[in-house]
A and B are shown apart, each in its own frame.
Chain A
Amino acid sequence: MTALTTQLQAEMNVVRRNGEQLLVTLGIPLLLLGFFSVVDVLPTNEKDPVNFLVPGILALAVMSTSMVSLGIATGFERNYLVLKRLAATPLGTTRLIAAKTLSIAVVEAVQMILLISLGFLLGWSPQQANWLLALCAVVLGTFAFAGIGLFLAGNLRGEVNLAATNGLYLVLLLIGGIVFPLDKLPGALSAISRCLPTSALSDVLRDALMSAGEHTTSSWIVLVVWAIAAPLLAAKTFKWN
């Protein structure tokens, strides 16, 4: 077994054992999709809310895994000096980051399969879906959210990071165009929301899967900027212990 696969297995064990993280990454997106698709209470501008919800919930799933799950786990690893100890092995930073990235990819793949399957079961009908474009958006979103998660994890104590990451998750869930369309938000808040990575990812996923993006070009720009800036900021400020 190589150092990379060894570390990937260790990362997956951490994911598997942290029940509360699994709840956030798998449970909450599935619950939101199921509940708001069946109970039509959201102002989605869609005849069938599931068509609005699936792309947004996919964006939420990316945020859950790459920001919340990765960020909280990394924050506690830093707190418990796990990263410091690993830094004194031949693993190296590159393979450590690769193992973390692959573990995110595995969890996201499971999330996508579960959410898209549930979406189809609830009557989701993609319109001229461009799956490759959607995959590109998911990759960019992963970079953006992982950057935010690692920025917080690399600068805050474990418990503070836990609270901050969960708080940010809730804010982005509410004003990030996932369950509420941005045009239903007050003017100033709506303008701010369009600059958030969640809104941008939701929008480009709606465009890729439903041909229903609202500000596709600007959303791609916002997403790319976050995907570059957030990891750079995290790399520049990250404290290993």
Chain B
Amino acid sequence: MSAVVVENLTIRYGDFVAVNDVSFQAEFGEVTAILGPNGAGKTSTIETCEGYRAPTIGSVQVLQKNPFTDRTAVHSEVGVMLQEGGVYPSARVFETITQYCALYNRGVDPATLLAAVDLESKASSTWRRLSGGEKQRMLLALALAARPRVAFLDEPTSGVDINGRDAIRFIINDLAANGTAVVLATHELDEAERLAQRVVFFHQGKIVANAPLAIMRSAQHELRFSSSPALNVQELSAHIGLQVAIIQDHYVVRFENADSAFSSELVQRVSTWLNDKQLPLNNLSIGAQRLEDIFRNLTGGTQ
């Protein structure tokens, strides 16, 4: 049984349709990334799963319960990390973590949790004195206080420095490894690429792709390189028999054949052609596409 089941969900605010007939599932022991640009409908969907609002149309089940009508039961086993805020500025770190551990009453030791999010040195600091990364880790700690079977994390690494991101990634991976269903909403595709087993792409309120990350990435491969602006794209496309595109100062060739012999031959043909034309070949890479590119393909280049 899936941890989260969203079926034909539509959310309207007056005449505005924020989420339009979306369906997906999140499984225990996996990180499911809800991806998309700001305003794509991610937060509206997550907040409906958290029980903050009822669906306009469709249904949401979390742990086989309706999160809007069965709030207390759902919230007892679900950890929530808001996109921002949620703590009084004068509240102290350890005191707040202790409060949430007591509210959830799931046997989580506040001192252990404080250490897990690496905030021991900030135990007596107030919320207002924490850095952006420390605030995110504290919000994550409040979600972990639930010893959650399902964790909804909204932009958990937003505004966090590199070290802080590592700490947050470690905790999220650990959560999933211990069987928690982690639903992660983010517009940072790199972050999802590092964490998620399944990705659900939102675009203008609709889901444009929903698949395991490995399958989604293996479906599309690309050769990417940089060279002179004088490179004749049509001529190279004709030479290799594949379309060459220009994306952010790079020449990109997309192909579906993941066979290594094919890849080697493609590199050989491109490099030979460039050499014949006395054009440089720089920053060559070949392999599975990045999520960012997949998303651009799916949405026609808009983000």
Contacts and interface: CB of A to CB of B under 8 A. Distances in A.
Interface of A: 1, 3, 6-7, 9-10, 13-14, 17-18, 76-77, 80-82, 84-92
Nearest to A241: B52
B148 to A, nearest CB: 11
B86 interface: yes
B52 A81 contact: no
Contact of A13 (B52, B86, B87, B91): B91
Given A14-B88, A18-B90, A90-B75, A85 B103 contact: no
Given A85-B142, A89-B75, A80 B89 contact: yes
Interface residues of B, number: 27
B90 A85 contact: no
A6 B90 contact: no
B78 A88 contact: yes
A89 B103 contact: yes
B30 interface: no
Q: Max chain A CB contacts within 10 Å: which of B71, B84, B99?
A: B99
Nearest to B84: A81
B89 A88 contact: no
A133 B69 CA distance: 41
Given A17-B90, A77-B88, A88 B52 contact: yes
B160 interface: no
B105 interface: yes
B263 interface: no
Given A84-B52, A89-B103, A90-B75, 10 more contacts: A6-B99, A6-B103, A7-B99, A13-B95, A14-B90, A81-B86, A82-B86, A82-B88, A84-B85, A85-B82
A84 B86 contact: yes
Interface of B: 50-52, 71-72, 75-76, 78, 80, 82, 84-91, 95, 99-100, 102-105, 142, 146
A196 to B, nearest CB: 32
A138 to B, nearest CB: 28
Contact of B88 (A3, A76, A84): A76
Contacts of A17: 90
Nearest to B128: A80
Contact of B76 (A7, A10, A90): A90
A90 B82 contact: no
Q: Max chain A CB contacts within 10 Å: which of B82, B90, B103, B142?
A: B103
Contacts of B89: 80
B102 A81 contact: no
B102 A1 contact: yes
B82 A81 contact: yes
Contacts of A7: 99, 103
A80 B87 contact: yes
A10 B99 contact: yes
B97 to A, nearest CB: 12
Contacts of B102: 1, 3, 6
